[in-house]
Homo-oligomer: A and B are copies of this chain.
């Protein structure tokens, strides 16, 4: 699979590393390649600069959003939610058309201080916004409800817990589920919520996720839906 991973942050790094480890051909897309490699500061979580990660992940290519999308069959959106639409616009509609976008981003808005709010939120979602803005793509929202280390290794939290899937196109959701399976997710733990409007539901898990992180003092937890 030729995959583009948009975003050089920790989520993009972890997804790109996992895909490359599974033998896929991965290109990370970024706004400005030189700037991405020039950054030397750690991120807000204390993770090393992208340059260090890139050295250790030599099999992952790096290009602009346009270059990464042009070469890819599938695009993983791991940008910050507020920059996602702009990043996809930079890729160019002709390089997105007909392709699956696995949207992992959350529209966290830190502009009003902590804790962040959602923008868009409540009456809209980032998943819907991307699908609306790029109608020729097939957006599948998934994996956005947990820490990135858990996304690619569900066994990092023992026992059963869930990953949600939202999207308008059944075939694209099947592809997404195959990828989830290759990451280690059991099919019984995948919950298909329905069309892309259901992304409102999963994006609105973020506010409690952030509070739970504060209470539990670890990001290594997940939601499990328990039935009677």
Contact = CB atoms under 8 A, between A and B. Distances in A.
Copies, count? 2
The A interface is mostly helix, strand or loop, or mixed, namely mixed
Contact of A158 (B201, B210, B228): B228
Given A193-B208, A204-B208, A211-B201, A227 B223 contact: no
Contact of A228 (B156, B205, B226): B156
Contacts of A173: none
- By size class, the interface of chain A is 35 or more
Contact of A157 (B157, B164, B227): B227
A227 to B, nearest CB: 5
A159 B227 CA distance: 9
A44 interface: no
Contacts of A218: 227-228
A194 interface: yes
Nearest to A212: B225
A215 B123 CA distance: 20
A216 interface: yes
23 contacts: A115-B197, A117-B122, A150-B228, A157-B226, A158-B226, A159-B226, A160-B226, A193-B208, A193-B211, A193-B212, A194-B214, A194-B215, A198-B208, A200-B207, A201-B208, A204-B207, A212-B225, A220-B227, A221-B227, A222-B225, A222-B226, A223-B224, A223-B225
Interface of A: 112, 115, 117-118, 121-123, 150, 156-161, 164, 191-194, 197-198, 200-202, 204-205, 207-212, 214-216, 218, 220-228
